[in-house]
Amino acid sequence: MKNALVAQRVRGDELNKVIARLQRSTHLFASQWYEFAPDILDATAKLFLAPASPWRRRAMELGNTIGMTPPMVTEALRNVLGRVTKKRLEHLRQQQLGRNPVLHRILPRIVFHNLAGNLFISAWESLLLANLIGAGNLVRTSQNDRQFPVLFVEAMASIDPLARRMNFCVWWPHEERELTHYAITAADVVVAFGDDRTVTALRNMLPPHKRFLGHGHKVSFILLHEQDIYSQPCHDLAKKIAYDFSVYDQQGCLSPRAIFLKAKSLAIVETFAQAINDAMAEFASSLPRHVLSLEEAAAVAREREEVLIQQAACESRTARQTIDRQAKVISPPTADYLVAIRSLNPFSLSPVNRTVVIRRFTSLDDLAKTLNPLRGNISTFGVATLRQEWLKMAHALEVGRICPVGKMQKPPLGWTHDGYQPLAALTLPLELREIGDKTGAS
């Protein structure tokens, strides 16, 4: 294993040389890479999952550079690679591309990945899928994570050295737009991660014939009904929800940013909030949070202070005067997380880093009005039971995914990310019906 696993800074001439090498490699080896990719990716996954593996150990060491504790990195490896096997990869490829995609699909030679730095597993999944269809990959890493993409490529190269000729991880500043233009021009497909402004800027640079897969800013939420709390052990449900809030410290688009609980009384909300507080404390020990920056800590502290101010205002009124007694902080001040109750409105997104805000509502219309400004920007609804009202709301708000709580951060391999099947979106269909599709005839 190399000591310096970091994407190198490139300039114009250097990037042109990288692209030329990648073009030669894809011309010579694309078919070979496509054939053996499931075996190579299977073996690569095993490298990171083996308890005594140096690759696994290196990943845990690198976690500190992107704000992930070793137990969190271990959990991430299990979530992203635990289901990666040759059989599943081949099934996924057949499921999304058909039995003989080489004949019926136009496969990209080069995919350009513009990565974000919040979660390394998104970068790994993007690389895994593109390699699975035999593509060469030009990767512009995030400035905040120039190591994890290289680590994945080097692990593949330890199985088959061809991986280094089919995958190039480099970095250049955002403002050097001419380099981004070079990369886009060379690629058949552009996969872009980042905030909405970054994704839009890249999309606007694209020539009309290029394919673009953009993953901009999305948020997720949990929808609960009070019957969910009565119908199963409270601690079991709370633990599933606490996992979704704890894993990755809410850094991804699948991380919930609030719980919306349909309930008639505040008493059930407070009881359930205490159960969540207990479960969050368990994960604070088993999946410890990274050390927060001053800015991150200040954001959580501001949220807590706002709730405490509202809580004090509520408690100062007489019972007859009280209109809204929902504001309450549940978690202790020394906890590495925040659990609080707030009213449905006024609504704003809570900060990340294990901030659990429960907002009670009684009217679906009120909830719909609250969430409508986020229409089209909600990735996932986590639910305890699949109720018709949740489905209607998901359709109305253009939510891409509904899943059980406890699995919000564990989408299936090759899941329909942002509304499309990733392998199918990377390729183009090849129309053969006009000539009878007799390619197999002699």
User: Which structural domain, as residue segments, surrounds residue 248?
Assistant: 219-404
Q: What is the token pair recorded at 161?
A: 């050295």
Which pLDDT tens digit goes with each residue over 311-334? 988 777 654 444 456 899 999 999
Q: Decide if 358 is inside a domain.
A: yes
Which pLDDT tens digit goes with each residue over 6-26? 999 999 999 999 999 999 999
Higher pLDDT, 70 or 118: 70
Confidence (pLDDT) at 326:
84
Q: Decide if 328 is inside a domain.
A: yes
Phi, psi dihedrals of residue 338, rounded to the nearest 5°: -130, 130
Which pLDDT tens digit goes with each residue over 347-376? 999 999 999 999 999 999 999 999 999 999
Q: Do 173 and 235 belong together in one domain?
A: no
Q: Do 189 and 239 belong together in one domain?
A: no
Confidence (pLDDT) at 334:
95
Q: What is the token pair recorded at 333?
A: 């001040």
DSSP-derived letter for residue 411 is P
Domain count, the chain: 2
Average pLDDT (141-150) is 96
Question: How far is residue 409's CA from residue 218's CA, in Å, rounded to a whole number?
Answer: 14
Helix (H) or strand (E) holding 246: helix 234-246
Listed range (134-143, 410-419, 430-439) with the worst mean pLDDT: 430-439
Which pLDDT tens digit goes with each residue over 184-209? 999 999 999 999 999 999 999 999 88
Q: What is the token pair recorded at 278?
A: 């207990």
Question: How far is residue 11's CA from residue 299's CA, in Å, rounded to a whole number?
Answer: 37
Q: Do 340 and 425 belong together in one domain?
A: no
Which pLDDT tens digit goes with each residue over 393-408? 999 999 989 999 999 9
Report residue 275 CA to chain centroid gap: 27
Question: How far is residue 76's CA from residue 120's CA, in Å, rounded to a whole number?
Answer: 9
Residue 241 pLDDT greater than 70, yes or no:
yes
Report the SS3 class of residue 134.
coil
Q: What is the token pair recorded at 193?
A: 């991660």
Give the neighbor-by-neighbor strand order of the sheet with 110-114.
8-9, 167-171, 136-140, 110-114, 189-193, 211-215
Q: Do 176 and 239 belong together in one domain?
A: no
Question: How far is residue 133's CA from residue 227's CA, in Å, rounded to a whole number?
Answer: 45
Q: Do 257 and 127 belong together in one domain?
A: no
Q: Do 156 and 292 belong together in one domain?
A: no
Q: What is the token pair recorded at 137?
A: 């990959």
Confidence (pLDDT) at 436:
46
Higher pLDDT, 317 or 415: 415
Q: Decide if 173 is inside a domain.
A: yes
Q: Do 241 and 270 belong together in one domain?
A: yes
Q: The domain spanning residue 212 has which CATH number?
A: 3.40.605.10
Confidence (pLDDT) at 325:
65
Whether 26 and 109 have beta carbons less than 8 Å apart is answered as yes
Please report, as a single letter, which amino acid is at residue 401.
R
Question: How far is residue 341's CA from residue 266's CA, in Å, rounded to a whole number?
Answer: 10
Q: Do 200 and 242 belong together in one domain?
A: no
Q: Do 57 and 175 belong together in one domain?
A: yes
Entry pTM:
0.92
Q: Do 152 and 252 belong together in one domain?
A: no
Q: Which residues contact 164 (CB under 8 A, 6 or more apart)?
A: 153, 154, 157
Question: How far is residue 81's CA from residue 48's CA, in Å, rounded to a whole number?
Answer: 8
Report the SS3 class of residue 358.
strand
Question: How far is residue 251's CA from residue 218's CA, in Å, rounded to a whole number?
Answer: 11
Q: Decide if 281 is inside a domain.
A: yes
Tokens 């709301």, residue? 393
Which pLDDT tens digit goes with each residue over 263-282? 998 999 999 999 999 999 99
Q: Do 138 and 156 belong together in one domain?
A: yes
Q: Decide if 392 is inside a domain.
A: yes
Nearest to 286 by CA among 82, 73, 72, 120: 72
Residue 137 Rama label (left phi>0; alpha psi -120 to 50; beta): beta
Q: Decide if 411 is inside a domain.
A: no
What is the overall mean pLDDT for the chain? Answer: 93
Q: Decide if 36 is inside a domain.
A: yes
Confidence (pLDDT) at 388:
96
